[in-house]
Amino acid sequence: MKELKLPNVELPEAAEKLREEVRAFLIEEEKKGTYVPKCDSWLGGHSAEFSRKIGERGWLGLTWPKEYGGHERSALERFVVTEELLASGAPVASHWFADRQTGPLLLKYGTEEQKRRLLPQIAKGEIYFAIGLSEPNSGSDLASVSTRARKVGDKWIVNGSKIWTSGAHHSHYMITLVRTEALGEKKHEGLSQILLDLSAPGVTIRPIHLMTGEHHFNEVIMEDVEVPDDMVVGIAGNGWKQSLAELAYERSGPERFMSTYPLLAELVRQLANSESDNAKIAVGKLVSRLWTLRKMSLGVAGLLEQGKSPEIAAALVKDLGTEYENEIIKVARLLIPSHASVSAESKFDALMAQAILHSPGFTLRGGTTEILRGIIARGLGVR
Amino acid sequence: MSEIRPMLEEMVNKVLKDNCTKELINAAEKGTFPADLWDTLSELGVTAVGIDEDKGGSGGDLGDLMALLKIAGYFAAPIPLAEHTLANWMRSKAGLTAKSELSTFAPVSREDQIIFDPTDEGWSVSGKASFVPWGKDVQFITVLGKTNEGQYITASIPSDQCIINSNQNLAGEPRDEVVINQVAVSKQEAGLVDDQSADNLFSYAMMSRVMQMAGSLERALELSVTYTKERTQFGRPISKFQAIQQQLAIMAGETTASLAVADFIISNIDRNISFEETAMAKIQLGDAAGIATRIAHQVHAAIGFTDEHVLHHSTRRLWSWRDEFGTESVLAEAVGQRILSDAENLWDFITKPPAKVTVE
pLDDT in tens for each of the 383 residues of chain A? 666 889 999 999 999 999 999 999 999 999 999 999 999 999 989 999 999 999 999 999 999 999 999 999 999 999 999 999 999 999 999 999 999 999 999 999 999 999 999 999 999 999 999 999 999 999 999 999 999 999 999 999 999 999 999 999 999 999 999 999 988 888 899 999 999 999 999 999 999 999 999 999 999 999 999 999 999 999 999 999 998 877 777 888 999 999 999 999 999 999 999 999 999 999 999 999 999 999 999 999 999 888 888 889 999 999 999 999 999 999 999 999 999 999 999 999 999 999 999 999 999 999 999 999 999 999 999 98
Q: What is the pLDDT of residues B222-254, one digit of tens each?
A: 999 999 999 999 999 999 999 999 999 999 999
Separation between Cα atoms, residue A19 and residue A25, nearest integer Å: 10
Q: What pLDDT score does B147 carry?
A: 97
Res. B357 pLDDT band, cuts 50 70 90: very low
- Chain A residues touching B250 at Cβ < 8 A: 319, 373
Delimit the CATH 1.20.140.10 region(s) of chain B. 196-351
Could you say which of A268, A277, A289 has the minimum Cβ distance to residue B339?
A268
Q: What pLDDT score does B353 carry?
A: 61
Could you say which of B340, B344, B353 has the minimum Cβ distance to residue A283?
B340
Is A373–B229 a contact, with Cβ atoms under 8 angstroms apart?
no
| CATH match for A2-127 among 3.40.50.300, 1.10.3720.10, 1.10.150.130, 1.10.540.10 | 1.10.540.10
Domains A131-238 and A253-380 share a fold: no
- Chain A residues touching B283 at Cβ < 8 A: 284-285, 288-289
Mutate to test the interface with B, among A18, A268, A294, A331 (most CBs of B within 10 A): A268
Determine the length of chain B. 360
Q: What is the pLDDT of residues B124-151, one digit of tens each?
A: 999 999 999 999 999 999 999 999 999 9
Give yes or no for residue B360 having a pLDDT over 70. Answer: no
- Cα dist. B183→A321, B115, B122, B163, B164 in Å? 54, 11, 11, 11, 14
Q: How far is B355 from chain A (nearest CA, A)?
A: 15
Separation between Cα atoms, residue A84 and residue A210, nearest integer Å: 27
Separation between Cα atoms, residue A48 and residue A46, nearest integer Å: 7
Q: What superfamily does domain A131-238 belong to in CATH?
A: Butyryl-CoA Dehydrogenase, subunit A, domain 2 (2.40.110.10)
Could you say which of B267, B281, B347 has the minimum Cβ distance to residue A87?
B347
Res. B3 pLDDT band, cuts 50 70 90: confident
Q: What pLDDT score does A70 carry?
A: 98
Is B248–A290 a contact, with Cβ atoms under 8 angstroms apart?
no
CA angle A346, A352, A355 (to 5 degrees): 140
CATH topology of domain A253-380: Butyryl-CoA Dehydrogenase, subunit A; domain 3 (1.20.140)
φ/ψ of A313, rounded to 5, equals -60, -40
Residue A56: name the closest of A125, A148, A146 by CA.
Answer: A125
Is the pTM higher than 0.80? The answer reads yes
pLDDT, averaged across chain B? 96
Res. B358 pLDDT band, cuts 50 70 90: very low
Task: For residue B306, give every residue at least 6 positions away whose Cβ sits within 8 Å of its Cβ, in sequence order, or none.
Answer: none
Beta strands in A98-214 (DSSP E): 129-132, 148-152, 155-163, 173-179, 191-197, 203-208
Q: What superfamily does domain B87-193 belong to in CATH?
A: Butyryl-CoA Dehydrogenase, subunit A, domain 2 (2.40.110.10)
Is B261–A292 a contact, with Cβ atoms under 8 angstroms apart?
yes
Domain ranges in chain A? 2-127, 131-238, 253-380
Q: What pLDDT score does B310 carry?
A: 97
Could you say which of B253, B257, B340 has the minimum Cβ distance to residue A271?
B340
> Is A135 at the interface with chain B, CB within 8 A?
no
Size of the A and B interface in Cβ pairs below 8 Å: 167
Could you say which of A284, A289, A292 has the minimum Cβ distance to residue B336?
A284
Yes or no: is domain B1-79 CATH 1.10.540.10? yes
Delimit the CATH 2.40.110.10 region(s) of chain B. 87-193
Is B283–A272 a contact, with Cβ atoms under 8 angstroms apart?
no
Separation between Cα atoms, residue B228 and residue B226, nearest integer Å: 6
